[in-house]
Amino acid sequence: MPNNIYKRSGFTLVEIMLVVIIIGALAAMIIPRLSGRGEEAKAKVAKSDIDANIATALKLYELDNGSYPTTAQGLGALRIKPSTNPLPQNWNGPYVERDPVDPWGRPYVYVSPGDHRADYDLSSKGKDGLSNNGEISNWQ
């Protein structure tokens, strides 16, 4: 009888348990460092939208039309030509591909002329949706 008939293949229960314990130990070290990073990433996306993406679209709108959209026209004026006064004469949009919403699914707050800046105020109310508690804005 050949000797290889009794050769074992595969892993023993002890080997499998050892691998599971090692993976568990690694996860225990890594997961606490990553917790909370999702909200931090959302806040950075909102800040980037406010300071760069939407700001650029608003500047292009202002260059084409001589003024920023009014508060009443809102950020919707970046997608669809406003039909309320002041009517933009050289609207060359859409300036954004979709309605500007923050990473938490709420529309950005837009006021023009701004209370904090002369041109416009743009902000997100953050994770909790409350002003002045985690608010992300273009004036801070």
pLDDT score, position 76: 95
pLDDT score of 101 more than 70: yes
Q: Name the residue with higher pLDDT: 22 or 64.
A: 64
Q: 9-20 b/e with 16+ CB inside 10 Å = b?
A: eeeeeeeeeeee
- pLDDT band, residue 107 (cuts 50/70/90): very high
pLDDT score, position 38: 76
Between CA 54 and CA 77 the distance in angstroms is 12
Q: Name the residue with higher pLDDT: 126 or 130.
A: 126
* CATH number, span 37-137: 3.30.700.10
DSSP string spanning 60-118? HHHHHHSSPPPTTT-GGGGTS---SSSPPSS----SSSS--B-TTS-BPEEESS-SSSS
pLDDT score, position 40: 82
pLDDT score, position 133: 66
What digits encode the pLDDT tens for the residues 11-35? 787 788 888 888 888 877 777 666 6
pLDDT score, position 131: 64
Between CA 115 and CA 110 the distance in angstroms is 11
| % residues pLDDT > 70 (the chain) | 87
* Domain boundaries along the sequence of the chain: 10-34, 37-137
Helix (H, G, I), strand (E, B) or coil at 21: helix
